[in-house]
Chain A
Amino acid sequence: MFRRFRSLARVLIGRRRFEDRMSDEIRFHLDAYAADLQHSGLTPEEAARRARAVFGSVDGVREDCRQARGLRWLDELWQDLRYTWRLMRRTPAFTAAAVVSLGLGIGATTAIFAVVESVLLRSLAVDDPGKLYFLAHGDGDRPSTSSNYPLFERYRTADVFSGVTAFRGTALKVSTGELVEIVPGQFVSGNYHAVVRAPVIHGRGFVSESDRPSEGSDIAVISERYWIRRFGRARDVLDRTLTIEGRTVAIVGVTGAEFGGFTPGSPVDITLPLAMYVRTTPRYLQAHDSFTSMLIIARLRPGVSEAQALAAVDAIFQQFMEEPENRWARGQTQLFSRARLQPAGKGDDWLRTQYRASLFMLLSMAVLVLVVASANVANLLLSRSTARAREVAVRRCVGGDRWRILRQFLTESAVLAVLGGACGVLLAIWGASLILALFSTWRQPIVIDVSLNVRVLGFAAAVTLATGLAFGMVPALKGTRVDLTAMLKGDSAGSGIMARRPLLSRALVVGQVALCVMVLVVAALLAQSVRSLKARPAGFDAANVLLFDLNVSSSVVPRTKLESLYVGLLDYLRRLPGVASAAASTSTPIHTSGDLRGLALPGLPETPEARGMWANYVTTRYFETMGIRVLRGRAFTSQDMFSTHKVAVLNQRAARHVFGDADPIGRTIAWMGAPEQPIEVVGLVDDTLQDSLRADAPRMVYSPLTDTQLPRPIQVALRTTGDPISLAGNVRTIVRSVHPEFIVERVRTMDAQIDAFLVRERAVTWLSVAFAFVALILACVGVYGVMSYNVARRVREFGIRLALGEREHSLLRAVLGEAMSLAFVGIVLGVGGTLLVRRLISNLLYGVPPHDLETVTGVSVALLAMMLIAAYLPARRAARVDPMRAIRAE
């Protein structure tokens, strides 16, 4: 097989030489034969003539030789390509329409697939990612991966693993000169890079660092991204140091940009040894009493199966839970029942869970658009093939076989598909980044490298191939099946088999309209969902509020000083022109719910459902700034901030849970952790939506900000008199001018905060609307094209009808009626399809009634209108036919 390819290739390269040599050889043969004939007595001329006659047709022999060498099909392919090229240049509008349709369809599908690939399918850029596992625990679908150090130490003894390591994500305060920047980072156990086998492009990673703080603990490994961003890829980076929260840290290595840690979408820039964290929190190494956001990763030893590893891990886990220090966890049987292994080769699945449903929905929509585009091109090809029927008939009559003509038609489809695919790939490059940008927000910037790698290009090629076959096959088959006699008798386009309404063409139009309906309805429903979500009463006033995160750069500011700093800052902010009110809190609406804590409620079980409350620590004037109604009692005053008499404000849900319908004002509550410390309830406020626009309002207990451990990151809110954007630019400098230790991050308006929550819904809606728009354009173009062609085909018929006295507008109505009936059938089918699809997308919708007649009707009417417009021009052309010319024309 290979040999034949090689021989063919050799011939192709020296084609001219091959032909010359072949001529030489044949000539030699003829001369030798003629010479022999001369010897037997013929004259030279007679000998030459005889030789040629016996040899036969030289061209025939050459053709046979070429075929023997495998050249014939290549020559024919080249012929087909040139013919296709000429044909395309002759009909540029047709070619453009087809290529653009395909480009849009293939491009959209490939773009979404590129995003799917980078978010859902890609593995981490480490060696052998399939062998990495999170060591987790718990029952149910979502085992918990949070662990603690003592458990980590136990796991390290397991010999089913070639290495066990741990990491803990954090936000690091890095000083560059005057400014302090918050950089995403992580603390890792001393063998992290050795176990994970991440790509280290400079220096070294952590192989055997100690987890106990020592002289050599102040080292860091940075990411390539950070190296570029902060140091401009300086060659001497390993001689540089970082100042992290006051400590000088030496850089010892750089990891490649393709690896960003175990949280896809949120890459880590600075990796520090756990020892540095232990230095500030020594009890971390022995902390049994919580499972504290430390994740444990293990690499399976070669030859060990997952089942064996799980058994080993579970044994260790059960033993660990029996230890006396872990008795507190006994009550939570679901969470601590057994150990689990979770594959870590693709990192943790937060991003994937968030976006899996949306991405698949978008992919389906893109495929529908592609199908509509292919139907368009198929219809265009069908129309054209019937126009070329005469040509085909002639070719077959002069001896061309059907297969050869079919191959030429298929070559045309293939060229269109390839051109469309190329455009599509270009579109996909741009589109994929755009799509990811839509999903990224200030709050959760998603940093993923979407590239056109082998998988994506392979997908594009496969889609192009499938599309080309789909739209090319049937028109080619139909086009070559031609009734020769009828054709040549001169019944070209007017009658014969052509007079019968082309069923396939109409079926395609109906199909396109149906798919269009589905895509439009889904887009409309999604848009409505977003509107409903935004309109949902949230318990606070979202207008004119500016927010930012506030942090303090060094953790060693004494607490009293910190409190007075905060008070001073808020006073200053409140006095600014344009600011009506200001306050600070640990959580804000549509952002976070707060800290989950348990109330001391004897008589109720010790579970989050029975005793859980969300604690939000706020300053004075918080409710006024947020626009939350105080229903009974009062808000906090400055005395509450600093007094020993503890107070709290409840929201309605919390009050109802604890006190039923009774008045909560003046009653006392206490937290489970401090049951002897009574807290007086002084106020009752409206419920607010905190974590999510979709979920119910949580039960909230508001306490003074001074009641919580400081410093901790807090959020500051300003209610402005004008547009909050106007203050956004200056707020950072204003705050730092009050005290340079303050770090301001993530300045945003409340509207932006809500939008960030809705980012997924909004992005999906935008994209669906874009797809729906494209599908609509394609369908209209399709209808227009088919109608135009049909009218041109039936010119004679219309001429006759008009000549026989039919009125112009009646003919117009008849033609339009035909088109509209197709559209109508398509709409009915489409509506049916939508009902089937609704179930699939119902979890992305919100507040949209199950069988939303309004949306469906609206879409149907809009679509009918568009179809009407698209069909009008061709219909008018039909009515304007000049009967005389039509009847005479062929």
Chain B
Amino acid sequence: MAKAAELLPGTLDMLILKAVSLKPLHGYGVLLRIQQISGNVLQVPQGSLYPALYRLEHQGLIAAEWGESDNKRKAKYYTLTAAGRRRLREEAAEWNRLVAAIGAALRATPDEV
């Protein structure tokens, strides 16, 4: 397993939105999904997960519904709303721009200056 990396501040929301966009998930499922799609690199600190979920729900970016889990227990499932989809697109685009810019900056060689 690759060494676990710490979540950059401000990216948790984006990752939650992405995780939920693939399929409706409950809180624990979001945790696992983020781990999975990041190739087991990103570990979400469990104490910050639920406050983030509640915040995103408050802002209307995800919607919650109570349903049944695989083992027939009641769980709260989160789905992405239209606004959430928009926000995810925006944040992902912004993130990619940032990454490209930093990457370009880091690749700068002495003779390019």
Residues in B neighbouring A60, C-beta threshold 8 A:
47
A57 interface residue per 8 A CB criterion? yes
- Are B46 and A28 closer than 8 Å at their CB atoms? no
> Contact mask A44-62 → B, CB, 8 Å, 1/0?
0000000000111100110
Within 8 A of A (CB), among B53-88: 54-55, 57-60, 66, 69, 73-76
Question: What separation, in Å, do the CA atoms of A347 and B57 have in the docked complex?
Answer: 57
Binds B, one of A18-26, A98-106, A130-138, A726-734: A18-26
Is B95 part of the binding interface, using a Cβ–Cβ cutoff of 8 Å? Answer: no
CB-contacts of A49-82 with B (<8 A): 54-57, 60-61, 64-65, 67-70
Say whether B24 faces chain A, with CB atoms less than 8 Å apart: no
Residue of B whose beta carbon sits closest to that of A24: B74
Min CB distance A17 to B, Å, is: 11
Interfacial chain A residues near B60, Cβ < 8 Å: 3, 7
Contacts of B73 in A (CB 8 A): 28, 31
Q: In the complex, what residues of B have CB within 8 A of residue A55's CB?
A: 46-47
Across the interface, do A64 and B51 meet the contact criterion of CB distance under 8 Å? yes
Residues of A within 8 A of B57 (CB): 7
Instruction: Please name the residue on chain A nearest to B27 by beta carbon.
Output: A29
- Contact between chains at A4 and B58 (CB < 8 Å): yes
Contact, CB under 8 Å: B76 / A33: no
Question: Which residues of A sit under 8 angstroms from B59, Cβ to Cβ?
Answer: 3-4
Name the distance in Å between A356's Cβ and chain B's nearest Cβ: 53
> Are B28's CB and A32's CB within 8 A?
yes
| Least Cβ–Cβ distance between B35 and chain A, in angstroms | 11
Contact A69 B69 (CB under 8 A): no
Distance of A108 from chain B, by nearest CB (Å)? 45
A465 to B87, CA, bound (A): 40
Mark B35-61 against chain A: 1 for CB-CB distance below 8 A, else 0.
Answer: 000000000001110111011011110
B26: Cβ under 8 A from any A Cβ: yes
CB distance from A536 to the nearest CB of B (A): 75
Q: Measured between C-beta atoms, what is the minimum distance from B72 to chain A in Å?
A: 12
Is A65 within 8 A of B26, CB to CB? no
Query: Interface residue count for A (Cβ, 8 Å)?
Result: 25
Q: Tell whether, in the assembled complex, residue B58 and residue A69 are in contact, meaning their CB atoms are under 8 Å apart.
A: yes
A31 to B58, CA, bound (A): 26
**A25–B59 Cα gap in the complex (Å)?**
19
**A56 and B58 form a contact (CB under 8 A):** no
Query: Once bound together, how far apart are the Cα atoms of A4 and B56, in whole Å?
Result: 11
> Which residues on B sit within 8 Å (CB–CB) of A21?
66, 76
How far does the alpha carbon of A61 sit from the alpha carbon of B54 in the complex, in Å? 11
A64 and B55 CA atoms in complex are apart in Å by 10
Contact B75 A67 (CB under 8 A): no
Minimum distance in angstroms from B47 CB to a CB of chain A: 4
Given contacts A54-B46, A55-B47, whether A33 and B54 have CB atoms under 8 Å apart is no
CB proximity of A49 to chain B, nearest CB, Å: 15
Residues of B within 8 A of A24 (CB): 74, 76
**Who on chain A is nearest to B60 by CB?**
A3
Q: Which of B28, B52, B58, B69 contacts A7 (CB 8 A)?
A: B58
Interface bin, chain B: 20 to 34
Would A61 and B76 count as touching, CB distance under 8 A?
A: no
Q: How many A-B residue pairs have CB under 8 A?
A: 62
Is B47 a contact partner of A56 (Cβ separation < 8 A)?
Answer: yes
Q: How far is the CA of A32 from the CA of B33 in the complex (A)?
A: 14
- A 1-13 binary contact with B (CB < 8 Å = 1; else 0): 0011001100000
Across the interface, B54 reaches (CB within 8 A) one of A3, A56, A57, A65, namely A65
A70 touches B58 (CB 8 A): yes
Given contacts A25-B75, A28-B75, contact A64 B50 (CB under 8 A): yes
A56 touching B46, Cβ below 8 Å: yes
CA distance A31 to B75 in the complex (A): 11
**Pairwise interchain contact B28-A61, C-beta atoms closer than 8 A:** no
Check B47 against A67 for contact (C-beta < 8 Å).
Answer: no
B51–A67 CB distance below 8 A: yes
Tell me whether A69 and B28 are in contact in the complex, defined as CB-CB below 8 angstroms, given that A3-B60, A4-B59, A61-B47 are known contacts.
no
Contact with B along A451-462 (1 / 0, CB 8 A): 000000000000
| B47 and A28 contacting across the interface, CB-CB below 8 Å | no
Residues of B within 8 A of A68 (CB): 51-52, 54-55, 58
Q: Closest CB-CB distance, A7 to chain B, in whole Å?
A: 5
How far, in angstroms, from A7 to B61 measured CA to CA in the complex?
A: 12
Return the chain A residue nearest B32 by Cβ.
A36
Contact A61-B50, Cβ < 8 Å, known A25-B27, A28-B73, A28-B75: yes
Q: Report if A33-B51 is in contact (Cβ < 8 Å); known contacts: A3-B60, A4-B59, A7-B57.
A: no
What residue of chain B has the Cβ atom nearest to residue A11's Cβ?
Answer: B58
Residues of A within 8 A of B74 (CB): 24, 28
Contacting residues, chain A, for B28 (C-beta < 8 A): 28-29, 32-33
CA A61 to CA B73, docked complex, whole Å:
22
- Residues on B with C-beta less than 8 A from A54 are 46
The answer to whether B50 and A65 have CB atoms under 8 Å apart is yes
Min distance, Cβ A399 to any Cβ of chain B, angstroms: 20
When C-beta atoms are compared, the residue in chain B nearest to A8 turns out to be B58
The distance from the CB of A39 to the nearest CB of chain B, in whole angstroms, is 13
> What's the least CB distance linking A620 to chain B, in Å?
93
Residue of B nearest to A54 (CB): B46
Q: How far is the CA of A840 from the CA of B66 in the complex (A)?
A: 72
Measured between C-beta atoms, what is the minimum distance from B69 to chain A in Å? 7
Complex-state Cα separation, A68 to B26, whole angstroms = 18
Which residues of chain A have C-beta atoms less than 8 A from B69's C-beta? 28, 32
Residues of B within 8 A of A26 (CB): 50
CB-CB under 8 A from B66, the residues of chain A are 21
Question: Closest approach, in angstroms, between the C-beta of B1 and any C-beta of chain A?
Answer: 13
Measured in the bound complex, the distance between the Cα atoms of B54 and A21 in whole Å is 12
A61 to B59, CA, bound (A): 19
Q: Which residue of A lies closest to B51 (CB)?
A: A64
Q: Which residues of B contact A33 (CB under 8 A)?
A: 28, 46
Chain B residue at minimal CB-CB distance from A33:
B28
Distance in angstroms from A343 CB to nearest chain B CB is 50
Measured between beta carbons, the chain A residues less than 8 angstroms from B26 are: 25, 28-29
Interface string of A830-874 (1 = CB under 8 A from B): 000000000000000000000000000000000000000000000
User: Of all chain A residues, which has the CB nearest B26?
Assistant: A28
Interface core residue of A28, A33, A67 (most chain B CB under 10 Å) = A28
Q: What's the least CB distance linking A5 to chain B, in Å? A: 10
Determine if B51 and A65 form an interchain contact, defined as CB atoms under 8 angstroms apart: yes
CA of A3 to CA of B63, assembled, Å: 13
Q: Which residues of B contact A70 (CB under 8 A)?
A: 58
Chain B residues with CB under 8 Å of A28's CB are 26-28, 69, 73-76
For the complex with contacts A3-B60, A24-B76, 4 further pairs of A-B residues with Cβ separation under 8 Å are A31-B73, A65-B50, A69-B54, A69-B58
Identify 8 residue pairs between A and B in the complex whose beta-carbon atoms are under 8 Å apart, listed by A's number: A4-B58, A25-B26, A29-B28, A32-B28, A55-B47, A56-B46, A68-B51, A69-B58
The 3 residue pairs across chains A and B that have the minimum distance between CB atoms:
A64-B51, A56-B47, A68-B54
Please list the residues of chain A having a beta carbon within 8 angstroms of any beta carbon in chain B: 3-4, 7-8, 21, 24-26, 28-29, 31-33, 54-57, 60-61, 64-65, 67-70
Q: Which residues of B contact A (CB under 8 A)?
A: 26-28, 46-48, 50-52, 54-55, 57-60, 66, 69, 73-76
